[in-house]
Structure 1
Amino acid sequence: MTTSPIARTDAPVVSVITPTWEREAMLQHAYRSFAHQDLPACEWIVIDDSERPSAFMQGLDDARVVYRHLPQRMSAGAKRNLAVALARAEIIAHFDDGEYYAPSYLRTMCAQLTQQRADFVKLSAFFLYSRVYGQFAWWDLLRKSGLHFHWSAQPMTALNFPADHKAFANNHSGYGFSYVYTKRLWAAGPFESCSLNEDGKFLQVALERGANLAHFPDDVGLCLHVLHGCNTSASFPQYLLPEALVTRHFPQFAQFGATLRAAPPERQA
């Protein structure tokens, strides 16, 4: 009888991986997202190539956490590969160090992976918060034409894309903060050793090999993707959300937004 990855008892159910650099102020929030997950038997692997080791991470008393400080800079792709190589679970989940993940996030994503018989699952629509604009939004990656707002480090602009907008043809496969996949899939084609779109390239290569991708929209507040002045990619949400509605329907997002406003600015990688 074949045992599914989620049924194993001799290893964690999920290995959460986080590549990081000079994000000491945000690592405690990333740990809080991990520690509050309602899926048991998880581990968190953090690969850090900051100038100095994280005092917060070194002070953690949690056997589920694996922290590696590297003596030299590495690309994001290389750090992801190292983290997955260290992972003991058969399911890998990305937790980026500046995002918010709800307690039910891992359980929901793993359920989708199993129910859809997929090698890979990600969010096709998600909530965003911009530290630059102090604004919440929602973006449906499968809706590739019509009105979008351009979010970056520059002032916000509104754009209207045509139905055949080629730049968005594969954008639903990027934005790796919500990637969950099998370690077997990674072993067949690891990340490229680069720091620009290494996640999107990883998934595109996997799809070309015939990987089964499942995706679904987050309309319940599973995750909040955070943009800051140093993001390497822009975002194009279709809907701007009033903070009063966010506070009423997603109070955890409003609380996290308040925390971000008090946090120091990001450093450019």
Structure 2
Amino acid sequence: RYRFHPQLWLCFYAQTYADKELIVVDSGDGPSPFFKGKQGPDFKYVFVNENLSVGEKRNLAIREYSTGESILNFDDDDLYFPAYVQTAVKLLKSSKAALVHLNAWSVVDIEENFCGFFDRSQPLPSEAEATAWGELCGFSMAYTYAAWRCITWPPLTSGEDRHFLRGVAAAGMPVAARAEAARGTTVLHLQHGKNIGRSLCQKARTDTAAVTNLIQRFEEACRRIIKLPQSEYDQLGGSLLYQGLHNLSLAAEPPKAARGLFLAVSEDSREDFQSWLGSEVGQHPQREVFVRQQLDRLRSQAAGEN
């Protein structure tokens, strides 16, 4: 996912939280053209020539390279605004929780130019579905190093968030949640057509002009915070924001055919929802391959333990 690496770098260095470090574990086809050769006291890039799951990469990053007491997941394809880390760490410490996460957030489907809002507190067809979709919050998790020592990430690429969250709760460790407000957005979860998972929202963001403006001004605002000179900016490629976000103009009405984001506005949409669930639209074309590889690895590990 090399195309997201400049944006990840931008999101991290624009964070207003001072004492931070970024650890990137990459198991792609080769070292990242953007990150290759970049190292520093607050940044470590690790290329692993092995097909590791998301959970395994997170464990490797924390176990071998992290130095902090607070751990935050940074998905490379999501848009984290400058106050994100400060807000998450503040709640983690003030709540004395082992893990904090969002239970309400905004989703932008770049393919369909549409923005929706998921709220765990709002009704869905069943409580089980509300719980399941609410557990897809790994992109917003902040947790203590001590919690990770007790419950490490499972070796999964699909469903790892749910397993980790449930593991922390089952161990009796406190979990806290926060809801994003429209005027206080700290992260936008992006659907771009090659995600492993998709998103469900209960309502559309009607302030499309404000969200569009937020995205369009993001890169320049981050550059000002970082104090990135034009010459260095040009050396980095001249544009750090993911290309799919350039010239994005969000529509107020949902698309007729959902892709990465399904808007569940009423019980009448139940049939369409089930049809969407059974389809593969809006997600990575190799998703089934990844899931199959994941199952094979789990079977192999289980066989080795017996």
Contact 1:49 1:69 in 2 (8 A): yes
Following superposition, the deviation at residue 170 of structure 1 comes to 4.3
Alpha-carbon distance in 1 for matches of 2:127, 2:100: 25
1:175 and 2:153 matched:
no
Q: Which stretches in structure 2 are left out of the alignment for 5+ residues?
A: 219-240, 248-282, 288-306
Structure 1 match to 2:111: 132
Following superposition, the deviation at residue 62 of structure 1 comes to 4.0
1:266/1:172 Cα in 2 relative to 1: closer, same or farther (>3 Å)? closer
Cα deviation code 1:131-158 (max 9, x no counterpart): 221211111123232xxxxxxxxxxxxx
Cα deviation code 1:46-93 (max 9, x no counterpart): 000011101210243643110000111111111111011121001000
Cα deviation code 1:196-222 (max 9, x no counterpart): 111110110110111111111111110
- For this pair of structures, how many residues does the alignment match? 227
Task: Please give the residue correspondences for 1:25-64 in structure 2 after superposition, counting only pairs within 5 Å.
Answer: 25-60=3-38, 62-64=40-42
Structure 2 match to 1:97: 76
Alpha-carbon distance in 1 for matches of 2:161, 2:243: 27
Task: Please give the residue correspondences for 1:213-232 in structure 2 after superposition, counting only pairs within 5 Å.
Answer: 213-219=175-181, 220-232=184-196
Alpha-carbon distance in 2 for matches of 1:142, 1:254: 30
Structure 1 match to 2:128: 166
- Structure 1 counterpart SS, 2:199: coil
Following superposition, the deviation at residue 117 of structure 1 comes to 1.2
Which residue, 233, 244, 248 being the options, matches 1:260?
244
Cα deviation code 1:104-151 (max 9, x no counterpart): 111111111111111111111011111221211111123232xxxxxx
Alpha-carbon distance in 1 for matches of 2:211, 2:284: 28
Following superposition, the deviation at residue 249 of structure 1 comes to 5.8
Alpha-carbon distance in 2 for matches of 1:47, 1:199: 18
Contact 2:195 2:284 in 1 (8 A): no
Which amino acid in structure 1 is aligned with residue 133 of structure 2?
A: N
Structure 1 match to 2:168: 206
| RMSD between aligned residues | 2.3
Following superposition, the deviation at residue 172 of structure 1 comes to 2.4
Which structure features the higher share of strand residues?
Answer: 1
Q: Which stretches in structure 1 are left out of the alignment for 5+ residues?
A: 1-22, 146-160
Structure 2 match to 1:118: 97
Alpha-carbon distance in 1 for matches of 2:19, 2:56: 26
Alpha-carbon distance in 2 for matches of 1:89, 1:223: 22
1:193/1:253 Cα in 2 relative to 1: closer, same or farther (>3 Å)? same
